[in-house]
Amino acid sequence: MSLYSYMTKEGYDKLRAELEDLKSTGRAEAAKAIAEAREKGDLSENAEYDAAKDAQGMLEAKINELEKAMAKARIIDESELDSSKVTILSNIRLMNLKMKKEITYKLVSETEANLKERKISVNSPIGQGLLGKEVGDTAEINTPGGIMQFKILEISL
């Protein structure tokens, strides 16, 4: 596990907003659910109370996870990155050599990864296989589905 997690300003702000929401609204809702369940009688046989306490525990675990992510987060300034090689925040246009199909990905931190938006983590097998490559290079990437070959057509920020 790396010491730092690099992300965009946008990703950092999104993470901070989620954390603040969980700390304020999430905790208030959890406390309300526990109070309502407590009013229903004997706590030793109260399934609603147990469920509310479990939900509160999961909420606190999520808050703890986000706080750790924020603590090791480092914001990257895209203007300082080199577009001659694949790095975090690179937009990479690739050719899947087996399927003869072009695809574009953006390499981002784990917390910003979203496959629907074609944002993949630099820690994923494909992300790791692309890091440091240049235009024209072929990356052979060992994935759970087997070895994939991608030719790098373009790198931009």
pLDDT of residue 39: 84
Blockwise average pLDDT, block size 10, the chain, 157 residues: 74 91 94 87 78 92 92 81 85 92 91 90 90 92 88 91
DSSP 43-87: GGG-HHHHHHHHHHHHHHHHHHHHHHHHHTEEE--GGGS-TTS--
According to DSSP, residue 118 is labeled T
pLDDT of residue 94: 94
Q: Using CA atoms of 7, 9, 11, 13 in order, give the dihedral in degrees to the nearest 10.
A: 140
pLDDT of residue 2: 59
pLDDT of residue 116: 93
pLDDT of residue 23: 94
Nearest to 98 by CA among 152, 153, 154, 150: 150
Nearest to 109 by CA among 151, 66, 69: 69
pLDDT of residue 22: 95
Q: What domains can you pick out in the chain, each with its CATH number?
A: 5-75 (1.10.287.180), 78-156 (3.10.50.30)
